[in-house]
Amino acid sequence: MTTPVLAPMEAKLVAELPEGAGWQFEPKWDGFRALVFRDGDDIEILSKSGKSLARYFPEIVALVAGIGQTRFVLDGELILPVDDILSFDALQARLHPAQSRITKLSRETPAQLMLFDCLTDGDQDLVGQPLTERRATLEALHARHGGPSLLLSPCGDLASARNWLAQSGGALDGVVAKRLDGPYRPGERAMLKVKQHRTADCVIGGIRRAKTGEGVASLLLGLYDDAGRLNHVGFTSGIAIAERAALAARLEPLIGGPGFTGKAPSGPSRWNNGQENEWEPLRSELVVEVLYDQVTGARFRHGTRLLRWRPDKAPAQCTMEQLVYELRPAELATITDERHLQTFR
């Protein structure tokens, strides 16, 4: 199949949701962005970077093949619920070299396709059309062919978007705003997105030194589980060079402590070409509050930002219960338009 050169429209991160008329708001889904192309029997699924995902999600290819319409281009998100939670870990597990493994996972934990835009409908090119027209076409397509695995992303006004953010308990990754009169702009940041701000109080269970050996480059963060074990959940870096030596002096008396008594940091890292990334354990006495984005596999998916020290917080109070995990679709259904989310059930 010769796939048209088409990059997905992207979003610019902003601090506040836009006000005024002319905006449509949608939940920000935590999955793999995907452009889905069908031309007769030819089907392709492309990631945001332009790489094919079709091999890794055969159940989505079969889903698209089963749609009673043979020509379209759709924009959406591949999501994967595991135990009623959208699991980014499970999506990443699909990117496996062994086809037998992919086939097994596609049967055990099938993915879903969440739709939020329609770029081509039959021979009609909708890229230059306003969102209102594209959305109407998408809703009509979903009404004809939607089901438990082919879902339609809900949309609403500003009041709805604020309600989603306020009542989701932080589980919603964020909200995307689109101009109702705007065309689809491939490759441009023509949408706006607001992300949830999540914080956690964590114990400093260890440190990694700067490459020069002088000062602290990053703090290794831990949280206690129900068994009282301190598990490594991530790190915070971005420590100013001028502050690294002073921080090392502050932490020096704690070096040599038990550190992490549950899950500990691994040595080699994909960020340092597989080389050993040594760390030093500390006594579990200091607590910091950090800002994080998402949780995957019981740890922060990305590095965190240090907000403040918490001398008022006892380390034992820093538990795994603080973490906000991936979105539970059933919970979002209670704060969004039920008719758009009925296919989750």
Catalytic residues: 28
CB atoms within 10 A of CB 59: 18
SS3 sequence of 28-79? CCCCEEEEEEEECCEEEEECCCCCECHHHCHHHHHHHHCCCCCEEEEEEEEE
CB 247 within 8 A of CB 216: yes
What φ, ψ does residue 332 adopt, rounded to 5°? Answer: -65, -30
Amino acid identity, position 271: W
Instruction: Give me the residue label for tokens 């009509």.
Output: 140
CB atoms within 10 A of CB 166: 10
Alpha-carbon distance of 221 to 74, in angstroms, equals 41
Give the single-character DSSP code of 226. Answer: T
